[in-house]
């Protein structure tokens, strides 16, 4: 009897272990599908390597997720450089050597894979189209009056539409089209060619809608839902545009609204923006067609979102004086409470870069200094390159030093 009981208890224990393991595995898979395991749950990739890039006039430097490819612009051409093999593996030239509005306009690496999304502008081959229009003529006739009709005014009036001679009209579209591409890079040890794919907008007029705005300034991607947000500026007019997974384009901003910065949730389809309408400056959350004011303080600026926290910086007299956070919720509420994480003083200007690293550290840097705030403590790192960049996960420092017609690049972990 005791033996049978022991066997029964063992099988119950084994069953519970399998159930727990199965539930854990299922939970992990669900989190992956929902985008909640994100790269943040894994240690960041931080290689140490050096390479020499052929070229000295490099702009908009961005390193890939795996830190093995570098994207940059050189004389209007987008180039992708394999840092391990030290060679250019992809180029995308502009269709015009003189028109600066054409070619690659903006790009961004996805934060969890070696895929680069980029926008490419080209001349609209069908800017002016001619269509044949058939206007119709309406002819009214009075039939003969029936003698039996007592009131001639009641006689039926007959109208008939008769086609007239066709005429030709010109229809004018946008002078240029803006296309969306995704460039998927293989493992940097392989020799496979990158996969460059064009994504068509639905409807096709979405390309013209983006082009009409002019210059693409801000561009962010929400990876869990594949939503893309961009600001497109033409003179003093700015549009906030959303591109969904079906490549449908829609406009989200209010009339006369200007957006200085924006960030997306890494867990939900929420967009946080610095919204300015007239003299009113606010931090606003946009989700499911709703707007929620996160902060009415005119000195507050959105910095980023990481691991369930929304980071807001308070700027006074060109100084970053406070870092505040609030929970990144699926359903944001109006005016949530803000927790102060740090107080101090860091010089603040338009040339600074600010981001939130994978461990929740705030990094503020320019070409000379990186200020790193971790758990309320400030540390400074002196930067050595002619130009310096930090990866979007805050883990890697990219230093560029010009050497004649070439550029030396060094990658190493960023540590306080």
pLDDT in tens, 129-138: 666 677 766 5
Q: Tell whether 64 is covered by a domain.
A: no
CA 313 to CA 371: how far, in whole Å?
14
246 vs 111, 181, 182, 203, 210, CA distance in Å? 21, 14, 14, 10, 16
CA 340 to CA 364: how far, in whole Å?
17
89 vs 68, 251, 261, 286, CA distance in Å? 12, 36, 32, 38
248-273 pLDDT, tens digit each: 999 999 999 999 999 999 888 899 99
pLDDT at position 269, please? 85
Per-residue pLDDT, averaged over 300-310, amounts to: 95
pLDDT at position 177, please? 87
pLDDT at position 101, please? 85
pLDDT at position 93, please? 96
* DSSP code, position 42: S
Q: Tell whether 154 is covered by a domain.
A: yes
pLDDT at position 32, please? 41
pLDDT at position 27, please? 42
pLDDT at position 9, please? 59
355-377 pLDDT, tens digit each: 999 999 999 999 999 999 999 99
Q: Tell whether 164 is covered by a domain.
A: yes
pLDDT at position 26, please? 38
Which structure tokens are listed for 82?
């394999």
pLDDT at position 7, please? 64
pLDDT at position 205, please? 74
Higher pLDDT, 160 or 52: 52
pLDDT at position 37, please? 40
Per-residue pLDDT, averaged over 93-113, amounts to: 90
Lowest mean pLDDT, pick from 145-159, 335-349, 389-403: 145-159
Mean pLDDT, all residues of the chain: 85
CA 301 to CA 281: how far, in whole Å?
9
Q: Tell whether 236 is covered by a domain.
A: no
374-387 pLDDT, tens digit each: 999 999 999 999 99
Q: Tell whether 161 is covered by a domain.
A: yes
Higher pLDDT, 290 or 135: 290
pLDDT at position 291, please? 95
Q: Is the pLDDT of residue 29 over 50?
A: no
**Alpha-carbon radius of gyration of the chain:** 30
- 318-322-325 Cα angle (round to 5): 130
Which structure tokens are listed for 400?
């560029």
Q: Number of folded domains in the chain?
A: 1
Binned at pLDDT 50, 70 and 90, residue 144 comes out as: low
Element (H, E) at 32: helix 2-34
Lowest mean pLDDT, pick from 134-138, 166-170, 349-353, 395-399: 134-138
pLDDT at position 36, please? 38
Q: Tell whether 282 is covered by a domain.
A: no
Q: Tell whether 163 is covered by a domain.
A: yes
Q: Tell whether 96 is covered by a domain.
A: no
Q: Is the pLDDT of residue 33 over 50?
A: no
pLDDT at position 325, please? 97
Per-residue pLDDT, averaged over 107-125, amounts to: 92
- Host domain of residue 156: 130-168
C-alpha of 222 from chain center = 7
Lowest mean pLDDT, pick from 14-23, 38-47, 285-294, 329-338: 14-23
pLDDT at position 180, please? 95
pLDDT at position 107, please? 96
């Amino acid at each position: 009897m005791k033996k049978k009981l022991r066997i029964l208890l063992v099988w119950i224990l084994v069953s519970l272990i399998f159930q727990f393991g199965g539930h854990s595995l299922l939970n992990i898979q669900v989190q992956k599908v929902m985008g909640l395991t994100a790269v943040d749950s894994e240690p960041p990739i931080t290689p140490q390597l050096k390479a020499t890039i052929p070229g000295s006039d490099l702009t908009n430097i961005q390193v890939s997720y795996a830190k093995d490819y570098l994207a940059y612009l050189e004389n209007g051409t987008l180039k992708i450089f394999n840092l391990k093999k030290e060679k250019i593996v992809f180029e995308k030239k502009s269709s015009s050597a003189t028109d600066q509005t054409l070619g690659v306009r903006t790009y961004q690496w996805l934060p969890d894979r070696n895929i680069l999304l980029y926008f490419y502008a080209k001349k609209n081959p069908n800017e002016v189209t001619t269509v044949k229009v058939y206007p119709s003529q309406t002819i009214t006739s009075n039939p003969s009056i029936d003698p039996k009709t007592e009131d001639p005014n009641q006689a039926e009036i007959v109208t008939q539409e008769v086609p007239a001679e066709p005429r030709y009209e010109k229809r004018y579209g946008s002078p240029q089209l803006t296309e969306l591409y995704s460039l998927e890079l293989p493992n940097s040890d392989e020799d496979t060619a990158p996969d460059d794919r064009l994504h068509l907008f639905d409807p096709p007029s979405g390309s013209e809608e983006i082009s009409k705005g002019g210059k693409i300034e801000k561009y962010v991607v929400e990876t869990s839902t594949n939503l893309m947000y961009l600001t497109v500026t033409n003179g003093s007019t700015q549009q906030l545009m959303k591109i969904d997974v079906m490549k449908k384009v829609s406009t989200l901003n209010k009339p006369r609204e200007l957006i200085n910065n924006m960030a997306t949730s890494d867990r939900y389809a929420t967009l946080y923006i610095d919204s300015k309408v007239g003299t009113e400056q606010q931090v606003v959350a946009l989700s499911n067609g709703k707007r929620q004011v996160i902060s009415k303080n005119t000195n507050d600026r959105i910095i980023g979102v990481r691991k369930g926290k929304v980071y807001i910086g308070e700027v006074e007299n060109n100084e970053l004086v406070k870092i505040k956070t609030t929970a990144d919720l699926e359903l944001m509420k109006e005016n949530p409470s803000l927790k102060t994480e740090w107080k101090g003083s860091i010089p603040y200007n338009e040339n600074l870069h600010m981001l939130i690293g994978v461990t929740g550290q705030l990094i503020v840097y320019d070409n000379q200094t990186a200020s790193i705030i971790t758990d309320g403590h400030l540390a400074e790192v002196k930067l050595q390159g002619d130009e310096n960049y930090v990866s979007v996960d805050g883990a890697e420092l990219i230093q560029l030093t010009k050497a004649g017609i070439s550029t030396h690049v060094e990658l190493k972990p960023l540590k306080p």
